[in-house]
Amino acid sequence: MSSSKSNKIVKLESSDNKTFEVEEAVAVQSETLKNMVDDGCANDTIPLPNVNGKILEMVLGWCKKHVDETVTGDELNKYEADFLDLDQADLYGLLMAANFLNVKGLLDRVLQRVADMIKGKKPEEIRRIFNIKNDFTPEEEEEIRLENAWAFD
Amino acid sequence: MKQRTWPGRSDGSRFSSLPLSKANGSKQHLKAPTGKASPPIRQIRYCSDGHDLSALPYDVVAKIAGSFSLRNLRAASLVCKSWCEALRPLREAMLFLRWGKRFKHGHGGVRPNLDKALDSFLKGAARGSTLAMVDAGLIYWELGHKDKAIALYHRAASLGDPAGQCNLAISYLQGEPSNPKEAVKWLYKASMAGHFRAQYQLALCLHQGRVVDCNIQEAYIRELLCDQFAFLEQARWYLKAAESGYLRAMYNVSLCYSFGEGLVHSHRQARKWMKRAADRGHSKAQFEHGLALFSEGEMMKAVVYLELATRAGERAAAHVKNVILQQLSSTSRDRVMHLADNWRALPSSC
């Protein structure tokens, strides 16, 4: 009795208790959500305790854009480029969300963005960009530097 | 692209900008393929909820670094302990990659052995290195196992490796039946990452009319490729002029090498030309060369060049110079001044 092209709505709740309602076609851009839908677990609101509202909104925005047939390839490219103009806190959240929700195109893009931010930089610079604390002791650091030095001269 | 943490570089005589649509605002020079489509890095605000990228799951870190060169892998490994641990398999992969290359080309005291090379590359690929995946794929292709090659290229391509993307695209073009649509999709990605061969191949595809309806704006690609050719021409002129002893050309050649614009990306060549320009009295080059020496730990040499740059009017040089001078003893400081006083520019054409 169910139509193959369902207008079913999927309800999601972020970690900070914001609810989002999206069409199933949008939600299933996420492999994780797709599996839930396929297994019939998507009838009630799906809680996402490790994704906050701001990030979830961004991710769903991405999914919507990629499902919208009126968007041209060129517009999509521009959208994707602008999308990744983020600061580090959002980048982290987005990375974790994309990984957990397994939104393939998004995850690849975010990983690539992070990779591009790292390439060509020295460790201190990388730490500064991503606000990472250096938890090596000087001896440990030296050990790592030497670890591969002999193999690569 | 190397980012400086101190006052921005001088522009000198750079390329004039062509009209090129870009997401964010203006850059002084053309957005080269190596400049990539990614926006500039924002200043980081302190992350208060304790989540930072040192807490990433290991497999995510490994995916990020999958296509890294050895130098980048080393730097990433030294960022923090968890990244170091996460990247251990990739560092192992690098060893296998090295052995694979030795067996393939027969150097390092080793006889060429394609099977052993393949074995080493596959071990590297198993540890997540896209470089190893591509090299393994190349051997499979040579041996006629095209489907195995394509599978490896696909893995590398999905992890963002431009060579993998380019090779995958070529295998789609050469496949029976050929699949130009898929090919162009991957060529576009590799082109945007600055892969020369992919850009050339993409231009060929467009020129041959092999791609009719694809989602990519052709005009954008053509412009991208025009930029690339403009860079090539410009860089060739600079190189000729530099070799004839033109001072400003030497400085510009260094920048071309540094950014990989029109000339192959080469840190070594960039440094060589910057030093040449500096030794012949180019003040901005003296500044840049001084900075480079400073980052390499050559304090005395660095501060001499920075002093020369300051005397020639480079105000930004003075700031860094003073920072270093404070760390030197008074004898060293005197020596620096003495060297700067007695410095004479080498001859140049202009």
Digit-coded pLDDT (tens) for A45-101: 899 988 999 999 999 999 999 888 888 777 887 788 788 888 777 888 898 899 899
Sort out which chain A residues have CB atoms less than 8 A from B38's CB and list them: 81, 84, 113, 116-117
Provide the CB-side half-sphere exposure for B60 (13 A, CA).
21
| Cβ-count burial B171-181 (b if 16+ within 10 Å, e if not) | bbbeeeeeebe
Q: Which among A78, A132, A151 has the least Cβ separation from residue B95?
A: A151
- Chain A closest-CA separation from residue B150 CA (Å): 20
Q: Please tell me which residue of chain B has the smallest CA distance to A116.
A: B38
> Which of B3, B31, B47 to mutate to probe the A interface, most A CBs <10 Å?
B47
**Cβ neighbours for B42, distance < 8 A, ≥ 6 positions apart:** A85, A86, A87, A88
Spatial contact of A46 and A10, defined as CB atoms under 8 Å apart: yes
> Looking at residue B182, what is its pLDDT?
86
Q: How far apart are CA A33 and CA A106, in angstroms?
A: 15
Give the pLDDT of chain B (350 residues) as one tens digit per residue. 333 332 333 333 333 323 222 333 332 333 333 333 334 444 333 333 456 788 888 999 999 999 998 889 999 999 999 999 999 999 999 999 999 999 998 888 889 999 999 999 999 999 999 999 999 999 999 999 999 999 999 999 998 899 999 999 999 998 888 888 889 889 888 887 878 778 778 777 776 766 655 555 566 666 667 767 776 777 777 888 888 888 888 998 999 888 877 788 888 999 999 999 999 999 999 999 999 998 888 889 999 999 999 999 998 899 889 988 888 899 999 999 999 999 999 988 77
The encoded tokens of residue B238 equal 């600079």
Spatial contact of A111 and A95, defined as CB atoms under 8 Å apart: yes
- Chain B closest-CA separation from residue A1 CA (Å): 37
> Looking at residue A150, what is its pLDDT?
53
Q: How far apart are CA B72 and CA B66, in angstroms?
A: 11
Q: Which among B37, B49, B98 has the least Cβ separation from residue A81?
A: B37
- Chain A closest-CA separation from residue B268 CA (Å): 14
Provide the CB-side half-sphere exposure for A57 (13 A, CA).
8
Spatial contact of B165 and B157, defined as CB atoms under 8 Å apart: yes
- Chain A closest-CA separation from residue B63 CA (Å): 7
Digit-coded pLDDT (tens) for A1-36: 444 456 789 999 999 999 999 999 999 999 999 998
- Chain B closest-CA separation from residue A43 CA (Å): 30
Sort out which chain A residues have CB atoms less than 8 A from B188's CB and list them: none
CB contact under 8 A, B94 and A128: no
> Looking at residue A148, what is its pLDDT?
65
Residue A30's beta-bridge partner residues? A103
Q: How far apart are CA A145 and CA A149, in angstroms?
A: 6
Q: How far apart are CA B320 and CA B323, in angstroms?
A: 5
H/E element, A115: helix A104-118
The encoded tokens of residue A61 equal 């925005």
Cβ–Cβ pairs < 8 A, chains A and B? 148
Place of tokens 């009295």: B281
Beta strands A9-13 and A19-23 are antiparallel
Spatial contact of B225 and B26, defined as CB atoms under 8 Å apart: no
CB contact under 8 A, A81 and B72: no
Q: Which among A115, A125, A148 has the least Cβ separation from residue B74?
A: A148
Best CA proximity match to B190, nearest among B210, B171, B209, B212: B171
Residues in chain B: 350
> Which of B21, B59, B80 to mutate to probe the A interface, most A CBs <10 Å?
B80
Rounded to two decimals, the ipTM of the complex is: 0.82
Q: How far apart are CA A31 and CA A104, in angstroms?
A: 8
The encoded tokens of residue B219 equal 């005009």
Q: Please tell me which residue of chain B has the smallest CA distance to A149.
A: B74
Q: Which among B2, B57, B78 has the least Cβ separation from residue A123?
A: B78
CB contact under 8 A, B76 and A118: yes
Q: In what order do the strands lie in the sheet with A19-23?
A: A19-23, A9-13, A46-47
Sort out which chain A residues have CB atoms less than 8 A from B63's CB and list them: 111
CA angle B83, B88, B89 (to 5 degrees): 125
Q: How far apart are CA B285 and CA A51, in angstroms?
A: 49
The encoded tokens of residue A51 equal 């994704």
**Cβ neighbours for B293, distance < 8 A, ≥ 6 positions apart:** B299, B301, B302, B305
Give the three-state DSSP class for A9. strand
Distances from the Cα of B337 to the Cα of A57, B296, B307, B314, angstroms = 60, 21, 8, 17
Sort out which chain A residues have CB atoms less than 8 A from B49's CB and list them: 89
Q: How far apart are CA B307 and CA B311, in angstroms?
A: 6
CB contact under 8 A, A88 and B214: no
Residue A19's beta-bridge partner residues? A13
H/E element, A26: helix A24-27
> Looking at residue A16, what is its pLDDT?
92
Spatial contact of A63 and A22, defined as CB atoms under 8 Å apart: yes
Sort out which chain A residues have CB atoms less than 8 A from B181's CB and list them: none
CB contact under 8 A, A73 and B78: no
**Cβ neighbours for A111, distance < 8 A, ≥ 6 positions apart:** A95, B60, B63, B64, B160
For CA atoms B14, B17, B18, B24, give the dihedral sign.
positive
CB contact under 8 A, B75 and A123: yes
Sort out which chain A residues have CB atoms less than 8 A from B39's CB and list them: 81-82, 84-85
> Looking at residue B12, what is its pLDDT?
34
Spatial contact of B274 and B281, defined as CB atoms under 8 Å apart: no
> Looking at residue B136, what is its pLDDT?
97
Q: How far apart are CA B34 and CA B330, in angstroms?
A: 44
Q: What is the DSSP code string of B45-78?
A: PP-TTS--GGG--HHHHHHHTTT--HHHHHHHHT
Q: Where are the alpha helices (DSSP H) in chain B?
A: 58-64, 70-77, 81-86, 88-105, 114-126, 130-143, 146-158, 162-174, 180-192, 196-207, 218-243, 247-259, 267-279, 283-295, 299-311, 315-327, 330-342
